[in-house]
Amino acid sequence: MTVSEVADLIRSTLENHMPSPLRVIGQVSNLSNHKHWYFSLKDEQAVVSCVAWVSAARSFGFVPAEGDEVVATGHVTHYGPQGRTQFYVSRLEPVGAGALELKFRAMCDELRRLGYFDAQHKKPMPVFPRRIAVITSAGGAAVHDVISTAAQRCRAVGLLIVDVRVQGDGAAEQVAAAIRRIDADARRLGIDAILVTRGGGSVEDLWAFNERVVADAVHECRLPLLAAIGHESDTTVIELVADVRAATPTQAVMRLIPSADELTGQLDHLDRRLRLLVRRHVERHRQRLDTAARSALLRDPGALVQQARERIATLAGRLGRATAVHVRRRRERIEALGRQLTAVDPHGVLARGYSYTTTESGALVASVKDVSDGDRIVTRLRDGSIDSVVKVPRMDLFDADR
């Protein structure tokens, strides 16, 4: 293997297996900062040589003195031409702030794991809160912004200023206790939302709002809670756990309290809509009434009677005609039957010269066998009858074998 190959292997091994970015805490020594910075970071047992390119060094915002504790962020690599393994620093912070930031990150990681930042816990802000609890320092700058902004937005929303320490010893505990107390008594106090706020300050000043007690109180709070801590560029734990975060106290109030002017505009709109709707509704009913009034019936009630009368007359006419036809048909039928009856009347036959004969008892004599010698018979003719006595009834020969 050549030297270059070894150097490449070292470099790629470092780049592939060292964490990046790497955060290192240590003391600064032998700083040379003419253009790029060359220095060492050391602790009791070891030394790491460091490089910061001028572009990165400009953003550090400070020049550490020999022996200062710093937190350096960057990556480690091997520089072949000089055979040196170096820590390339892209960010350098004095240890106070750096240490706090490490603590902040660790806290965020833990709370995230516990689900404190989950969107499912975020409660919506009330549309029109009756009263807001403002947890802040009564003597701070934030409270003035809150009160003056609230006055501009809507005076109908009440404010309950809960005075707490917002920095230093006991601040986190006071903030947490205030949140729990307001939340527990929200109904009696008529509180619909909580605003936790304070103005800008150093990382140390804002530190109370990164404490676990505050995070727990906010996480367990049932009221919608909005947090606005420091300036927009500052992020604190409470703002990540809160339901809503605002950049400044003023913006927080604007988010929480609706603008009375906007609401009045909205009411005016609803008012116009309501009037228009009712007017249209009434108009629709009036039109229906007009349509009804224009109908022939209501214009001339007599017409209805006339119509009924005409209808009755028509029906009467139909009834009369139908009855006459019926009677005529019946009469014709009876006459036909009469004619049929006349045709079969035996007396009609007698009139034409025929006659018939019966015995004395009235039985019809239709055959010579019906009578015997000496029987009395009666013969009926057109105009009377003849009594006779039978003398030798004689059977016709051509009838004999019937």
Partner 1 sequence: MAKPKPRSKTESMTYEQALGELESLIDRIEQGEIGLEESLNEYRRGADLLKRCRGILETAEQQIEELTADPDANL
Nearer to partner 1, 272 or 311 (CB): 272
d(CA 401, CA 391): 22
Grouping H, G, I as helix, E, B as strand and the rest as coil, residue 300 is coil
Q: Please, what is the end-to-end C-alpha distance for the chain in angstroms? A: 158
Give the nearest distance from C-beta 274 to partner 1 in angstroms: 5
CB of 285 to partner 1, least distance (A): 4
- Considering the complex, what minimum distance in angstroms separates the CB of residue 235 from partner 1? 25
The DSSP bridge pattern shows strands 37-42 and 69-79 to be unpaired
DSSP class per residue in 155-181? TTSEEEEEE---SSTTHHHHHHHHHHH
Q: 149: which residues sit within 8 A by CB, 6+ positions away?
A: 249, 250, 253, 254, 257
- From CA 140, how far away is CA 162, in angstroms rounded? 12
Which chain residues interact with partner 1 by CB under 8 A?
126-128, 130-131, 138, 147, 150-151, 154-165, 174, 177-178, 181, 185, 188-189, 260, 263-264, 267, 270-271, 273-275, 277-278, 281-282, 284-285
Nearer to partner 1, 267 or 337 (CB): 267
Task: Tell me the chain's radius of gyration from C-alpha atoms.
Answer: 63
Tokens (6 digits) for 401: 């074998």
**C-beta of 189: minimal distance to partner 1 in Å?**
6
DSSP one-letter code for 76: E
Strand, coil or helix: 121 = helix
- Indicate the residue among 146 and 365 with the shorter CB distance to partner 1: 146
In the bound state with partner 1, the residue whose beta carbon lies nearer, of 26 and 258, is: 258
Query: Which is it for the CA torsion 213, 216, 218, 220, positive or negative?
Result: negative
Q: Which is nearer to partner 1, 274 or 308 (CB)?
A: 274
How far apart are CB 253 and partner 1 at their closest, in Å?
Answer: 11
Least Å distance, CB 256 to partner 1, is 13
CA–CA distance, 196 with 161 (Å, rounded to integer): 10
- Helices and strands per DSSP (H, E), number in the chain: 13, 13
Q: Which is nearer to partner 1, 156 or 316 (CB)?
A: 156
With residue 105 as reference, give the H or E element that holds it: helix 95-113
At its nearest, how many Å lie between partner 1 and the CB of residue 169?
13
- Supply the minimum distance, in Å, between the C-beta of residue 177 and partner 1: 6
Considering beta carbons, is residue 274 or 319 the nearer one to partner 1? 274
- The residue (of 26 and 129) whose beta carbon lies closer to partner 1 is 129
Instruction: Show the tokens assigned to 263.
Output: 């609401």
